[in-house]
Structure 1
Amino acid sequence: MSEVLNFYNYLHTIPEEGFQEFKTSVFLAEKLESYDYDVTRNVGGETGIIGIYDSGRSGPVVALRADMDALGHIIDGKHVSRHTCGHDGHMSMLLAAAQIIKEKQLVKRGKLKILFQPAEELGSGANSMIRGGAIDDVEYIFGAHVRPFEEAENGQASPAIHYASSCRMVIAFHGKPAHGARPHLGINALDAAAQAVNAVNAIHLKPTDNYSVKATRFLCDSGVTNAIPAKAVVTWDLRAQYNKTMDELCAKFLPAIEGAAASIGATVEVLDSFRIPAAELNDEATALLADSISSILGKSNCIDPIYTPGGEDFFFYTVEKPSLKAGFFGLGCNLRPGLHHPDMSFDTSALEDGVSIWIDLVERLLGE
Structure 2
Amino acid sequence: MTKTLEHYRYLHQIPELGFEEFKTSAYIADTLAAAGFAVTRDVNGTTGIIAELDSGLPGPVLALRADMDALGHIIDGQRVARHTCGHDGHSSVVLATAQEVIKEGIVRRGRLKILFQPAEELGTGALAMVAGGAIDDVDMLLGFHVRPLEECPLGLAAPAMHYSACAAIEATITGVPAHAARPHLGVNALDAAVAAVNAVNTIHLAPNLTYSVKATQFICDAGVTNSIPALARVCWDLRSQFNEPMDELKARVIQAIEHSVAAIGAGADIKVLKEMPAAIIDDDMTAVLSAAIVEVLGPQGLTKAKFTPGSEDFFHYPRQRPAVKTGFWGLGANLTPGLHHPDMRFDLDALQIGVRVFKACVQKILGQG
> TM-score, normalising length from structure 1?
0.99
SS state of the match for residue 285, structure 1?
A: helix
* 2: CA distance, partners of 1:229 / 1:151: 45
SS state of the match for residue 153, structure 2?
A: coil
1:149-160 correspondence to structure 2 within 5 Å:
149-160=149-160
Name the counterpart of 1:191: 191
Name the counterpart of 2:296: 296
* 1: CA distance, partners of 2:233 / 2:95: 43
Name the counterpart of 2:209: 209
1:161-240 correspondence to structure 2 within 5 Å:
161-240=161-240
AA aligned opposite 1:59: G
Name the counterpart of 1:57: 57
Segments of structure 1 that go 5 or more residues without pairing to the other structure are none
Name the counterpart of 1:31: 31
SS state of the match for residue 281, structure 2?
A: coil
Name the counterpart of 1:45: 45
* 2: CA distance, partners of 1:142 / 1:169: 30
* 1: CA distance, partners of 2:136 / 2:255: 38
Name the counterpart of 1:92: 92
* 1: CA distance, partners of 2:84 / 2:248: 33
Deviation at 1:208, TM superposition (A): 2.0
Aligned residues: 368
Name the counterpart of 2:339: 339
Name the counterpart of 2:19: 19
Query: 1:119-158 CA deviation, whole Å, 9 max, x = no partner?
Result: 1011111111112111010000000100001110101000
* 1: CA distance, partners of 2:205 / 2:320: 28
AA aligned opposite 2:165: S
AA aligned opposite 1:84: T
Q: Give % identity.
A: 56
Segments of structure 2 that go 5 or more residues without pairing to the other structure are none
AA aligned opposite 2:175: G
Query: 1:47-106 CA deviation, whole Å, 9 max, x = no partner?
Result: 011110000100000000000000111000001111100001001111111111000111
Query: 1:208-229 CA deviation, whole Å, 9 max, x = no partner?
Result: 2111100000011111110111
Deviation at 1:272, TM superposition (A): 4.3
Name the counterpart of 1:248: 248
Alpha carbons 2:39, 2:52 under 8 Å: kept: yes
- The list of structure 1 runs, each at least 4 consecutive aligned residues, that deviate by more than 4 angstroms after superposition, is none
CA RMSD of aligned residues (A): 0.8
1:71-90 correspondence to structure 2 within 5 Å:
71-90=71-90
The range that moved more, 170-179 or 108-117, is: 170-179
SS state of the match for residue 121, structure 1?
A: coil
AA aligned opposite 2:364: R
Deviation at 1:107, TM superposition (A): 0.3
AA aligned opposite 1:64: L
* 1: CA distance, partners of 2:273 / 2:17: 21
Name the counterpart of 2:134: 134
Name the counterpart of 2:9: 9
Query: 1:252-280 CA deviation, whole Å, 9 max, x = no partner?
Result: 11111112112211111114432111110
* 1: CA distance, partners of 2:200 / 2:332: 37
The range that moved more, 245-254 or 27-36, is: 245-254
SS state of the match for residue 310, structure 2?
A: coil
SS state of the match for residue 239, structure 1?
A: strand
* 2: CA distance, partners of 1:93 / 1:13: 16
* 2: CA distance, partners of 1:273 / 1:338: 25
Alpha carbons 2:192, 2:261 under 8 Å: kept: yes
The range that moved more, 61-70 or 123-132, is: 123-132
Alpha carbons 2:65, 2:142 under 8 Å: kept: yes
AA aligned opposite 2:239: R
AA aligned opposite 1:75: I
Query: 1:183-213 CA deviation, whole Å, 9 max, x = no partner?
Result: 1111111001001101111101112211110
SS state of the match for residue 197, structure 1?
A: helix
Name the counterpart of 1:359: 359
SS state of the match for residue 17, structure 1?
A: coil
Deviation at 1:17, TM superposition (A): 0.7
SS state of the match for residue 30, structure 1?
A: helix
AA aligned opposite 1:188: N
Name the counterpart of 2:114: 114
SS state of the match for residue 343, structure 1?
A: coil
Name the counterpart of 2:68: 68
